[in-house]
């Protein structure tokens, strides 16, 4: 059940909703009753699936761009496209970053990055981030 909780915390963390799966994972490592690779797998899968929701939302968002209530101007969309094209699809490796990472996955959907490429890049970045969190947590546990 704890692995499922971490999965859902990581899922929520990947959406535009606030959450902190890193703190949950670190606390679970500190408790010491969990298999580390299952913690990594639960967090990574949850976070990547949350990013897939963002991607899907991105694929749908431009349907509404001509509505009066749509919060993003055409100019802002063009600017985002220019920035995304400047840094390329490999910028999705940084989808794990705070603040910019979640919107980056939405942008990947808006500009229709091939889903298999999106999935690989986002999974690599997020998997590496959770591996670093685990390494930090295990090192921190050793200090306590």
pTM for this structure? 0.87
Distance CA 123, CA 140 (A): 25
For residue range 102-120, what is the model confidence (pLDDT) as tens digits? 889 999 999 999 999 999 9
Q: How many domains does the chain have?
A: 1
Distance CA 3, CA 9 (A): 10
Q: Which domain holds residue 114?
A: 2-143
For residue range 58-116, what is the model confidence (pLDDT) as tens digits? 999 888 888 888 777 888 888 888 888 888 899 999 999 988 888 899 999 999 999 99
Q: What is the DSSP string of 91-135?
A: GGGGTTSTTTHHHHHHHHHHTT--HHHHHHHHHHHHHHHHHHHHH
């Amino acid at each position: 059940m704890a692995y499922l909780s971490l999965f859902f915390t990581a899922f929520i963390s990947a959406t535009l909703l606030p959450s902190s799966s890193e703190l949950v994972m670190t606390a679970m490592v500190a408790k010491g009753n969990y298999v580390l690779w299952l913690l990594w797998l639960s967090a990574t899968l949850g976070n990547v699936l949350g990013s897939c929701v963002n991607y899907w939302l991105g694929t749908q968002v431009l349907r509404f761009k001509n509505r009066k209530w749509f919060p993003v101007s055409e100019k802002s969309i063009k600017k985002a496209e220019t920035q995304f094209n400047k840094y390329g699809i490999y910028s999705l490796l940084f989808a794990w970053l705070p603040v910019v990472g979640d919107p980056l996955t939405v942008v990947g959907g808006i500009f229709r990055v091939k889903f298999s490429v999106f999935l690989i890049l986002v999974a690599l970045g997020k998997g590496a981030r959770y591996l670093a969190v685990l390494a930090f947590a295990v090192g921190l546990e050793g200090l306590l």
